[in-house]
Structure 1
Amino acid sequence: MTLAKGEYRVSHTSHTVPKKAKLWRYLWFHRYLYLMLAPAILYYLVFHYVPMYGAVVAFKDFSITKGILGSDWAGLKHFNYLFSQDKFWQVIENTIIISLYRLTFGFPAPILVALLLNEVRIKLFKQTVQTVIYLPHFISWVILGGLMINLLSTDNGVINNIIKALGGTALGFMSEESYFRSTLVFSMIWKEFGWNTIIYMAALAGINPQLYEAAVIDGANRWQRLLHLTLPLIRGTIILLLILRLGGIMEAGFEQIYVLYHPGVYNVADIIDTYVYRIGLTEGRFSLAAAVGLFKSLINFVLLVMANKLARMMGEQGVY
């Protein structure tokens, strides 16, 4: 009986040791790939995971002199205060509305452009268009903000000068609440749709050309090839990016809005991020700002999980 147990132990050890050795051999064989991955891992650890400790500030009456550990515990005091403020719900509403506008009009734009460019057969024209639409992505919102003021200003803006020359009345694209959200969405699409097109162009480039040749032989026209071949083959990419966009629905574009908005349009343009900036850095209410940020992150997490679950129900892989 003892011998049998001994034999079992030897057998068990012989199975575990090779697995560990195999893992180390695998890591050593791919050591250069992991070495290149190390800076990215370090970046996320330092700038995304370590700062999560600061979330405890939302549950304390934070004082710079006392520090995080020395500050008095406040519990849910700051959350109760936020939920009782009409201003807080207004910025939540503005954030959701602007994000939905950006999603509704901004998400399909790069897909449509990628599909159109995929049909272009003149290589020089195709490369020229790609370069032109990519360029705005590399320009900061500070520069684009000044450019938009020059274009849309009611006094000497180029667009309004054209409208007045045609006998119309100048429109307050950036000064009136009824136009400001549309201006935000349009400028966001203009800046980012070209860059997002790269992802879909890469997905389209991965489609086997023989599939199109077979479809042509079977008599499929261009529209039929688009509906029954191209779109189904890039469906996974579209759903994956849609999940990521839904997971960031509470991110309405801080930099863009901060550059373009002003007190006259706070009612329609003040979002969570600008609200946190004002009460946190400008007014020095750090605990309140941390509570808002934590609430926003929780909503984003729930939306991401729900979107991923929905994608899996549709038969797609999802993000995890």
Structure 2
Amino acid sequence: MEDVFVVEGVKKSYGDSTVVDGVGFRIRKGEIYGLLGPNGAGKTTTISIVMGILQADSGKVEISGMPHGPREMRTKALLGFVPQQNALYEDLTARENLRFFARLYGLSGSVARERIEEVLTAVGLADRADDLVSSYSGGMARRTAIAAGLLNRPQGLVLDEPTAGVDPQSRNAILEHVRALADSGVAVLYSTHYMEEAERICDRVGILDDGRIRAEGTRRELVDTLGERDRVVLELDGAAADAARALEELPGVHTAVATENGVELDCDRGAELAPRIVRALADRGLELRSLTIHEPDLEAVFLHITGKALRG
């Protein structure tokens, strides 16, 4: 897959303080890359450099194979940006706001009208487009800001805490829309303070702390660095002791303990092991009522690497 974002060895200092210290990552077309870090980790500065708002002291940023920076208009035109704070005029309607941003992108006439209708429909605001933004809920305002970031049909989209302060329903709608954008081929850099969002939609995650990427990978790859195992809970109709003895023989199962309602397994990669568990029980005529996999999560990885909570 084609890399849309390429960031290599980026550094940024203010006086004697190094804020970004050799950050590097790549984001492919159709991929959501989560950038996680505690407060003061350097996320905002990194995002500003990636967007071409700030000039890095050293290192490089490329967008779709082209050099990128504050003076590079060609590459800036390929990006969409949704900042932490909504950059909207509350005394204008959503449609009027989008018309203004369309002009900043150099869009006008029928092309601008077409794009505005397209993004309003995409974020579910077509029926409220002519209401003042001041009348919107927090979630609707965030969706308007996302719409503004999509007007130029970007190849790369940067979202800086897009669900902060919105209601659960709007938050869910935003997450679904971001996933749909990636599925359509957009590369997404997604910064969030909500670990469950990263778990849900990010294909890969980079953990930033003290200006450096301390760990990077898929959720499973990061969890595996802890060396912790999955716990699989089985509910059975009887014969729990027999089931435990049979399942403990499976490769990847470290312990199998009979419980009042079934068996609990301590194992490697429970999701991959599940089909073999089901087959082993069926071969012995044992009826499985439910199977639940409990995996170590990104929160545990984050705390292990940074020693800090993500929020706070």
Shorter-normalised TM range:
under 0.3
Q: Which has the larger share of strand?
A: 2
Name the structure, 1 or 2, with higher relative contact order (CA <8 Å, separation 6+).
Answer: 1
TM-score by length of 1: 0.22
> Which of the two has greater helix per residue?
1
Pair member with larger Rg? 1
Query: TM-score with structure 2 length normalisation?
Result: 0.23
